[in-house]
Structure 1
Amino acid sequence: MQVAIVTGASSGIGQSAARQIARRGTGVIITYHGNEAGARTTVSSIEKAGGTAVALSLDVGSSEAFPAFRESVVAALRDTWQRETFDFLVNNAGFGRMALFQDTTEQMFDELMRALLKGPYFLTQTLLPLLADGGAIVNTASNTARFSGLEAGYSAYGTMKGGLVVLTRYLAKELGERGIRVNSVSPGATRTRIAGDAFALHPEVIPPIEARTAFGRLGEPDDIGLAIAALLADEGRWITAQDIEVSGGYNL
């Protein structure tokens, strides 16, 4: 059985991606940070559907913990799937925070950088010896790094996500000789718990977003999770170094 690691899978896009990947017969190691109940829900839903999943704690903003996390992955692969390697990595974990450029503090910038760029960079490096040849990586970026999603208040967040897109291309170039495909997806506005569950707390922001979206609605986690799962699957076998916007036609 193939095995995937999906970071930040206790809710939202990561949870959906884990479920969609598991539906295709792949075992899943999910990670969570602070939302253990959500992680248990993800695992339970996968198991009820006949799949196999394991939840591990991980703070992607704390790179010093990555070697210990790798050992946890080794144990999970051995004990649950009798394997020494895994096949797919989804770098999804992170958080959102907005502030106008002149109000962005160095602390805010550093926190976003550690979770959204440095974390995926060095977590992938740490796990790379365990990633099987012929595997695949998908990084969750954001359309805030593209012209279509350029909005005031996301200069730091969008900068980190833009860096993740560039990292995607370099990983694709360097790992291609091992047959490892590396792509990113750039979601538009999606109904998740990001930014302190902003859409639930401020539903008034939703209609203007829907009005600017070609399909006339807010994105749902499954819209993104399905795209991630498809890129990892055989349908994506000839795709690498690409960033795919998954936004329902935002700002078309």
Structure 2
Amino acid sequence: MNLTADAEFQITERGAVIDGKDIRGCVSIKADNVKIKRSRIRCESYFPIRVYEGFRNAVIEDTEIDGLNSGTTNAAVGFEYYTLRRVNIHSLGEGPHMGADVLIEDSYVHDLASCDICHNDAIQSSGARNVVLRHNTFINDATGKNAVVRIATEQGDSRNFLVADNLLAGGNFAVQVRSQGNGFPVGVRVLNNRIVPTWRFGPFDVTDGRIEASGNFRDDTLAPLSAE
């Protein structure tokens, strides 16, 4: 792992394991099968962790990602072929962004940074395939909040997106699914989530298409919630 002059840690060794490190800077993953565990990453720039194109199977476990309340910070993690497990993400403009083959489970996104030009999403996809969000807590109470989970298609099509067994709170909408340039997302399933009724407009915003949504309940009364 190398530290460049701009305080960026570049991981270039295949199969590297970063364990128990307190990293003050952003992390760039440029190798396959990298694992970061039991660590803290504090970065106030874009992408505290970025998996570069062409590299696969990054795993981040039992780790804290702290954006240091910088309003300019974009996504906690980007973009493809990564797993987050038991990751505490906070003080960023947005939570993870995702492309292909992303798994996020047992993780916590909260206390997003607010700013005048922020458009905060706890989870954002503008074109993704094969994404699983399972058994997480996602909270978006930022001043510039948009959605808790946003699934759209500005940068490409979206296919096979599962949102299951999560606790979702805040946002204009808890789940937003939109056709925005590359068709309506295909194969979106929103199953068995508990949604805290702190949304601004509603639990769902589904525009120009249909999703599979069942087993979703208000967290306070356990009343069922529909995406229709």
TM-score of the pair, normalised by structure 1: 0.28
| Structure with the higher strand share, 1 or 2 | 2
Bigger relative contact order, structure 1 or 2 (CA pairs below 8 A, ≥6 apart): 1
